Amino acid sequence: MIQTVRALGVTAVVVASCLGGQAAAQTKQLTLCWAAWDPANALVELSKDFTAKTGIQMKYEFVPWTSYADRFLNELNSKGKLCDLIIGDSQWIGGAAENGHYVKLNDFFAKEKISMDDFMPATVVGYSQWPKNTANYWALPAMGDAIGWTYRKDWFARPEIQAEFRKKYERDLAPPQTWDELKQIAEFFQGREIDGKKVYGAYIYTERGSEGITMGVTNALYDWGFQYDNPKKPYQMEGFVNSPDAVKGLEFYKSLYKCCTAPGMSNAYMSEGLDAFKSGQVAMQMNFFAFFPGLYKDPNVGGDKIGFFVNPKQKYHFTQLGGQGISVVSYAEHRDDALSYIKWFAQPDVQKKWWALGGYSCHKAVLGDPSFPKSAPFAADFLKSMDIVKDFWAEPAYASLLLDMQKRVHDYVVADKGTAKEALDLLVKDWQKVFKDEGKI
Amino acid sequence: MSTLAERAVARTPNRLALRLGNLSDKAIAWLFITPSVLLLLAINIFPLLWTIQLSFTNYRANRPNAVLRYVGLDNYRDILTDPEIWHAMQATAHFVLWSIAMELVLGFGLALLINRRFRGHSFWTTIILLPMMLSPAVVGNFWTFLLQPQIGLFNNAIAVLTGVDPSSFQMIGDVRLAPWSIIMVDAWMWTPYVMLICLAGLRSIPDYIYEAAEVDRASPWRQFWSITLPMVMPFLMLAILFRAIENFKMFDMVNLLTSGGPGSTTEVASITLKREAFEKWRTGYSSALAIILFVTVFGAANIYVKALNRVKQR
C-alpha cells in the first residue's frame, strides 16, 4: 500500500513538473508598444503567425497618437521595462540611439544576414540610421508612411460640377498637381451644397498639442523651398528656415487654412481628418497613407467614391515622412525573444503578408514587385511619395525643436499672431538656442 | 481553566502597559506621529528640497548620464526675463481672476436662491451639484464637443437665441473667445462648489438676527448688506482661496479643451511647466519654474489667509 502511494506521489510530481515546464514555455511573452491605429490591428493579426511558429505570446501596448510620444518617451527615459519591442517614431531615433534606449542592431543584422539593402533607402535613412547616412542601425524599417491626400472622386466626376469648374478655371477638375491648383479646387468646393449638405474644400492638420500642425505645414514649406539648415554647413539655419521661399510657403498654408477648411478645425490632426472625410464634410483630405486602406474600405466614402493623390508640388516636390522602425528596447527583459521577432518580421514572406493585411512594408520584395503599384488604389501614389519624402529633425533634442515649431506655426496660422517672416525668424532663434544648449553650435 | 481568548484579553493590557509604561508622554506622542512625519518627509519635503537643488542645475531627466553643471541663478534669470513665461502668467491671471469672479457671483446667487428652501430645493441642489462631481478630463472632452461649431449644442443654442449661423464663430479656435471658453467651462464645473460653501455660510447665520432686523423695519436690501454679506464674507473668502489655488494650477481641463491654443493664447503656467518638464525635458529649468510658481501661490495664499483671519475676527 505504502509503495503504491509512493509510486502515485512520484508520478504526480513528474506529471506536475512536465506540465509546469510546458506552462512556462507557453507563458513566454513579448510586449510590443506602438500607436493605437489601423496598422496596429493589422500587426496583431500578422503576429499570430509568430506566436504559432515560436510559441511566444504577444502582448500589446497601443496608445493614441496624441499621447503616443509622451507615453513612450517617458517610458524610455525612465528606463522602463514595459516594452520589449517598440515601434518608435522616426524622429526619436537620434535621442533613442544617443541615450541608449535602443539596442544597436548591426551585429544582429550581420549574424542573421538581414541586409538593409533589401529595404527602401528612404526608409532605412528615416527609420533606422543614426547618425543619418551612416551604417549604424537602431531599428528595422517596419511601417513605411508619408503624407498623401484623399479626394471625393464621386464629387469630382459629377458632370454639373465638372462643367462649373471648367467654366470658372478653364481646366478640368482633376486631382491637383500643384498647391495652387489644390487651393483653387478647395475654394471651389468651400461652402458648396452637395446632396443637400454644406461641404468644405480641404482638411489640413492644425493640431497644437503634439506634432499635428508641424506634420501638416512642412508639406507646403518643403515645396516652396524651406530647408532645415544649410546643406553645406549643418545647423546654420538663418536664411534657410526663414528664407523668402519658406515665408511664402507658410503664408500659403495659412491662406489655405483661412479660405478652405471647415469651421472648428483649429486643433485637428489625423482622427479629426478621418472624421471630416468619412462624414462627407470635405472634398480633399491631407492624411497619412497608413489610413488609406481603412478609408478605401469605408462603406460610405470608400470604394469608387474615394481617390488618392500625392502631395502636390510647387517650386520643389516633397512630402512629409511618417512611419516608423521597430526596435528592441535596451531595458527589455526578453531581448533574445525580441530579436527573434525582428528576425521573423524581416522575412520577405512576412513582409508580403504585412502589406496584404494593411501594413505598409518597406521591403523591396514587396515594393519592388511589378504587381505592387496595382495591388491597391493608393499603392502607386505611396511608391511615388516614398521617393520624395523629407523628415523633421531626428536630433536627440527633437522634442524641443518640435514644440518650438508647433508654437511658432500655430501662433501665426491659427492665432493670427505676427507675420510669417516673424514666425520663422523666431523659430530660427528658438532652434539656435536649442542647438546651442546641445553644444552643436 | 480560562479560555485562550480570556487569557489574551487579560494579558494584552499588561503587555502594552509594560511596553509603554517606561515611555514619557512626549515619547509616546512622537511614536504616534513619526510614521506621518516620515511619510511627509519622503513624499513632500524631500522632493521639494530636491527640486530646489535641481533648479540650480542644467539637469535633464532624459539624459541622466550627461555632465551635471551648476548654473547658479541662470534658470531663474532666464524664466523671469522670458516674455513667453510672462505671457503664460498673464493667461493664468486672466483665467484665475475671471473664473473666480464668475463662480463667486453665480455661486452666491444660487446659494441665496437655494437657501429659500422652496419646494423641491433638495432636488435642484443635487442637480446643480452634478458638474463638480465629474472628472475634469470628462468635462474637457465633452465641452470640446459641445463647443464644436458645426454640431456642438452650444453654438446651436447661441444660433437659436441670436439668429447667427452656428458655424460662423468658434469658441475654442478663436483667439478672442478661447480664453473665455475655458473660463466659462470652469465656472460651469465649479460654481456648485462655491455655492455649497456659500450655502454653509448662509445657514450658519442665526435667524434671530434677521428677526431683530425685521423688528427694526430694515429692508431686505439693508438686511443683505448689513447682515448676510458680512456674515458670509469669511466663507466667500475661503471659497476664493480654494478656487484660486486650484485654478492657478489648472492643467487637465485646459489641456483637453485647447491644448494651450490657439497658438499660445490659453497656455497657462501649468501647461508651460508640463511642456518644459516632460516634453522638452529641461528638468533644471522646469524645476526653477515650479519653484517660482510654488512661491507665488504660497506667498499669495499666506497673505490672503492673514486677511481672512482679520475678517473673521471682525
Task: Using a CB–CB cutoff of 8 Å, tell me whether B242 touches chain A.
Answer: no
CB A254 within 8 A of CB A415: no
Note whether residue B188 is domain-resident.
Answer: yes
Lowest mean pLDDT among A62-71, A170-179, B206-215: A62-71
* pLDDT tops 60 at residue A14: no
- Say whether both B293 and B235 belong to one domain: yes
Note whether residue B57 is domain-resident.
Answer: no
Which secondary-structure segment (H or E) carries B220?
Answer: helix B220-223
Instruction: Judge: B172–A207 Cβ closer than 8 Å, yes or no.
Output: no
- Buried b or exposed e, range B198-220, using 16+ CB within 10 angstroms: bbebbeeeeeeeeeebeeeebee
Amino acid B7: pLDDT = 62
Note whether residue B63 is domain-resident.
Answer: no
* pLDDT tops 90 at residue A25: no
**What is the distance, to the nearest Å, from the Cα of residue B276 to the centroid of all Cα atoms in its chain?**
22
* pLDDT tops 90 at residue B248: yes
* pLDDT tops 60 at residue A416: yes
Band (pLDDT 50/70/90 cuts) for residue A6 is low
Q: Please report where in the chains the cell 526608409 appears, as a residue.
A: A123
Question: Which residues is A54 bridged to in the sheet?
Answer: none
Amino acid A21: pLDDT = 46
Domain of B21 in residue numbering reads as 4-39
Amino acid A48: pLDDT = 97
- Say whether both B32 and B142 belong to one domain: no
- pLDDT tens column, A287-322: 999 999 999 999 999 999 999 999 999 999 999 999
Residues above pLDDT 90, as percent of chain A: 87
**What is the distance, to the nearest Å, from the Cα of residue B314 to the centroid of all Cα atoms in its chain?**
27
- Say whether both B126 and B264 belong to one domain: yes
> Cα–Cα distance between A109 and A101 in angstroms, integer?
18
- Say whether both B33 and B146 belong to one domain: no
> Cα–Cα distance between A210 and A402 in angstroms, integer?
8
Find residues 218-257 of chain A whose CB sits inside 8 Å of chain B. Answer: none
* pLDDT tops 50 at residue A1: no
Note whether residue B298 is domain-resident.
Answer: yes
Note whether residue B159 is domain-resident.
Answer: yes
Domain of B126, CATH number, reads: 1.10.3720.10
> Cα–Cα distance between A68 and A80 in angstroms, integer?
15
For residue B255, list chain A residues with Cβ-Cβ distance below 8 A. 209
CB B83 within 8 A of CB B215: no
- Say whether both B31 and B133 belong to one domain: no
Average pLDDT of the segment spanning A217-228: 98
Amino acid B65: pLDDT = 77
Instruction: Judge: B173–A265 Cβ closer than 8 Å, yes or no.
Output: yes
Note whether residue B54 is domain-resident.
Answer: no
Note whether residue B105 is domain-resident.
Answer: yes
Band (pLDDT 50/70/90 cuts) for residue B74 is very high
Band (pLDDT 50/70/90 cuts) for residue B86 is very high
Band (pLDDT 50/70/90 cuts) for residue B64 is confident
Band (pLDDT 50/70/90 cuts) for residue B168 is confident
Band (pLDDT 50/70/90 cuts) for residue B22 is confident
- Say whether both B192 and B103 belong to one domain: yes
- Domains located in chain A, CATH noted: 30-145+322-388 (3.40.190.10), 147-318+397-437 (3.40.190.10)
- Say whether both B24 and B116 belong to one domain: no
Amino acid A22: pLDDT = 47
Task: Using a CB–CB cutoff of 8 Å, tell me whether B61 touches chain A.
Answer: yes
- Say whether both B25 and B81 belong to one domain: no
Task: Using a CB–CB cutoff of 8 Å, tell me whether A429 touches chain B.
Answer: no
Number of domains chain B contains: 2
Amino acid A58: pLDDT = 97
- Say whether both B144 and B224 belong to one domain: yes
- Say whether both B14 and B153 belong to one domain: no
- Say whether both B128 and B178 belong to one domain: yes
What phi and psi values does residue A142 have, to the nearest 5 degrees?
Answer: -115, -45
